[in-house]
Amino acid sequence: MTKEKNQSLDSRNITFAYFPGNSVFHKLNPLSKLIFLILLTIVTLITRSLILLSMILFFIFLLALLSGISMKRLFRKVRFIVVLLFFGVVLNIFFNAIPNEQEFILFYLFNLDFLPIRRLAVYYSLKAFFIVLSLFSSTIIFTNSTSNKDFVYSLIKIKIPYKYCFSFMVGLRYIPFIEQEAKTIALAQRARGFGLEQARNIRKVYQLIFERLLSTLVSILRKGHTTSLSMENRCFGMYKKRTNLVNVKFKLLDIIFITCIFIAFISIVLYILNLLPLSQIPSLYSIFISIF
Amino acid sequence: MEGETLILAGPSGSGKSTIAYAMNGIIPWRQKGFAKGDVKIFGESIWNYDFTSLSKVVGLVKQNPIEQLVTFTIKDEISFGLENLNYPADEINSRIEHICRMMGISDILDRPIDQLSGGQKQLTVLCSFLVMNPKILILDEPIAFLDQQSESFLLNRLKSVVKAKEIPLTLIIIEHRLSRVLDIADKLIVLNDEGTISLQGSVTDIIHDNFSQLKKCNVRVPWLIDVFDEFKNQTHAEKDFQSLDFQFYFDYISKLNQDELEILQKIILSREINAEELKKYDNLDQVINLNETYVKSLKFEKSTEKNDEIFNNDKILLETKDLTFFYPNSGIKALSNISLQIQKGDFIGLVGPNGSGKTTLLYLLANLYQPSSGAIYFKNQLLYDIDSYDYAQKVGFIFQNPENMIFKSSIKDEILYGPKNFGILSRVKDKYLKKLISMIGKVDPLRNPFNLSWGQKRRLNLSSIFVYDPEIILLDEPFIGQDQKTIEAIIETLYIENKRGKTIIISSHDYHLLLKYTKRIIELNKEGSIQDYDTKSNYFSKHSNLGPILLLNEINKKLNEGDT
């Protein structure tokens, strides 16, 4: 029971927490996954085709299933960002991407002259929606399938100074800590009559946040000081080099995976640059134009 | 001396940790200040070392294991120091194997840190230092944050290592609860409030010759020795009582006559079961000749109208029906079907292992959490229907970490934080405010509360809730990291508040204090349901494994045998 409670505090409630598993994606070296994430980000950002972006998003969903993350869990984790993006899309289409270009107006909302819906605005807001959702979902898949330990030790393996890697490690360990501490402090404020319900004006909201931050900061700094002393007490930073018992290896699977994703990446880039003898996927934008 | 085990005891703020820091090099290299004199480690001045090289010689384990753990599994943590020292992998592995075999944790080496109990976490920290072969290891209140089970687990492992003398190690244990560690120590040094040594010598000599002096030193002496020392004074028995072994006292009891057994029974009852020394507070109208400003302040704030209501004990103040709580988003059950009744003027001790839901239950009773199912009633009214702001005024909550409930930059503002939020600032009289400030000690009201000592911060917490005179006081582990004097001050204050009619619920692992001062005990089990819920005397009879009860039962048995 206690064990489960700890897990609940440490991982289940945190979007980017690691979930142990045996999927192919779990078995990959964190660096392979990081390279994949970087290439995916590049492709997502350079493509103009909404069709390609939606295909990438579909591919990411498949990848989530492959890495043992159910659609239900993934949707639960991204629903916050989807709601935000939805508002973004609605808000964006009311703005003019290229001022004074009246021919791009699709129609007027409710037949009102001051509410024109423009094709480019629709295109850009949908593009932003797909990009953010793709990057957010792929990051979730990466963090959910990569243990912090493997990630940090693989960073050490590629010669990133171990002091930075361990700082990062301690930071990761402190996330649930900070969350828990901030919650307790908020409860302590409420217990003495100062909750969100009582913060009725901006000054009160500022006071509430300031007090909460101050107490959390004092507590975390104190804990952080103890942690750093404990590390130094065990001779951390004494030598430039340190032994690493944990060895995160590159396996055959990683080589195959990296080769595949590089081939895919280069192909997509060449295709985007029109350097492949393939007919172009019609962009959603062009579909829009043909319809309207 | 090399290979010795030394206990360093004393009140909070007496400089125990400062001494540890000075031996370990944190002072002067990591904590600046004015220092005079020198510290010599095996004849060598610490100025001849640098911080990290001194760390190889002197290790320091601190109170809270969670703050000291850096990596993700037991093995990673234990190997951390040796990896930093750039030892070859083979040597690291063989050293880890040796230490873990000795400590009995070889089978859980790959277990993630998050899944360990408090005792296992602290043991991991301990091993991570032991594996580096330090010459001196300082343990700064290593059991302060552990529940009873974890505490026994850690101390048993530590004792077996010390007694086996497998590692040539000088051990310095900072602890004011002497009963926990006295049996492995060779020497004892007690500091006083001024930071100077008030008592030092071998454990045997101090207990034999200076026990009464030790009792005055703001440390918690082992209750067994204390009880039998009193017995010795009353009966002029010739035997020496220095052992912490129960069997020794059991054997001794079997040799006592009826009169001696009765004397012993009375001593145990008055020392361990009934808070005899606090009976003086029962009648608050009588003149109390004490330098206790707090008691005086009560007299001046006491209102007769309230007392009439308070001492009507028939009323049920708080009631829970099938109270269940799940952690949000995770679906994990923290509390399961808790049904209990709390009467006005109750003084309840809440016990149970870490993770049994004690804090969650307190949060629910304070209306800080909402139940997943079931209901809480306050004076027969559903808590859900009461304005949370009004109810907050009726409850004073003391959190485990004193700093978590400090928000202001001056002591005065901090005390007035609650009244200001509740809109009752005008009701706090200056004179009463001064009394509440004096409860903390001789402090400037404009001083920053974060700069107070740990014990003073805890007293400030109490002042901050007493100022708005709540009906219910809930305390979550208020004794952690506190010295004996502060613990006594807290429990004394609570006792008086209870006599004034306040309802008090206190969660703690310190069953000795709870057995003595509370009226009822509620015990939660690991599944988050009630294990036991009873009056103190019934709880005693069911839990005969508790030290004083064990002895009392044995004495009763002998007395009954004598009668027949």
Cα dihedral A51/A53/A57/A58 (nearest 10): 30
Q: Which residues of B touch A233 (CB under 8 A)?
A: 24, 55, 59-60, 129
Residue A43 carries which side chain, given as an amino acid letter?
V
Sorted by sequence, the CB contacts under 8 Å of residue A287 that are 6+ apart come out as none
Question: Could you tell me whether strands B40-41 and B44-45 are parallel, antiparallel, or unpaired per DSSP bridges?
Answer: antiparallel
Using CA atoms, how far apart are residues B364 and B388, in angstroms rounded to an integer?
A: 12
With an 8 Å Cβ cutoff, is A286 touching chain B?
no
**Would you tell me which residues 175-234 of chain A have a C-beta closer than 8 angstroms to some C-beta of chain B?**
177, 181, 184-185, 187-195, 197-198, 211, 214-215, 218-219, 222-223, 226-227, 229-234
Residue A114: what pLDDT? 72
Using CA atoms, how far apart are residues B379 and B344, in angstroms rounded to an integer?
A: 9
Of A177, A235, A243, the CB nearest to B92: A243
- A68-89 pLDDT tens trace: 888 888 888 888 888 888 887 7
The yes-or-no verdict on residue B61 having pLDDT over 90 is: yes
Mean pLDDT of B159-176: 82
Of A184, A241, A242, the CB nearest to B404: A184
Angle of the B74-84 helix axis to the B89-103 helix axis, nearest 10: 130
Tell me the HSE value of A241 on the side-chain side, using a 13 A CA sphere.
6
Phi/psi of residue B185, nearest 5 degrees: -95, 150
Phi/psi of residue A192, nearest 5 degrees: -105, 30
Out of A11-20, B57-66, B107-116, give the one with best mean pLDDT. B57-66
Asked if B114 lies within 8 A of A184 by C-beta distance, the reply is no
Quote ipTM for the complex.
0.83
Q: Which residues of B touch A239 (CB under 8 A)?
A: 84-86
Using CA atoms, how far apart are residues B88 and B91, in angstroms rounded to an integer?
A: 6
- A180-212 pLDDT tens trace: 899 999 999 999 998 867 767 888 888 889 999
**Would you tell me which residues 112-151 of chain A have a C-beta closer than 8 angstroms to some C-beta of chain B?**
147-149
- B286-310 pLDDT tens trace: 333 323 434 444 433 333 334 434 3
Asked whether B9 and B16 are in contact (CB, 8 A), the reply is yes
Residue B287: what pLDDT? 32
Q: What angle do CA B316, B318, B319 make, to 5 degrees?
A: 90
Residue with the bigger pLDDT between B192 and A191: it is: A191
Spatial CA neighbour of B505 closest among B227, B375, B318, B332: B318
Asked if A245 lies within 8 A of B93 by C-beta distance, the reply is yes
Q: Where are the beta strands (DSSP E) in chain A?
A: 105-108, 116-118
Phi/psi of residue B520, nearest 5 degrees: -140, 155
Of A194, A230, A236, the CB nearest to B68: A230
DSSP category for residue B113: G
Residue A256: what pLDDT? 94
The pTM assigned to this predicted structure is: 0.79
Residue A238: what pLDDT? 87
Q: Which residues of B touch A199 (CB under 8 A)?
A: none
Asked whether B117 and A2 are in contact (CB, 8 A), the reply is yes
Asked if A238 lies within 8 A of B53 by C-beta distance, the reply is yes
Pull the structure tokens for residue B455: 């014990």
Spatial CA neighbour of A43 closest among A32, A31, A52: A52
Using CA atoms, how far apart are residues B7 and B173, in angstroms rounded to an integer?
A: 5
The yes-or-no verdict on residue B416 having pLDDT over 70 is: yes
Mean pLDDT of B443-467: 90
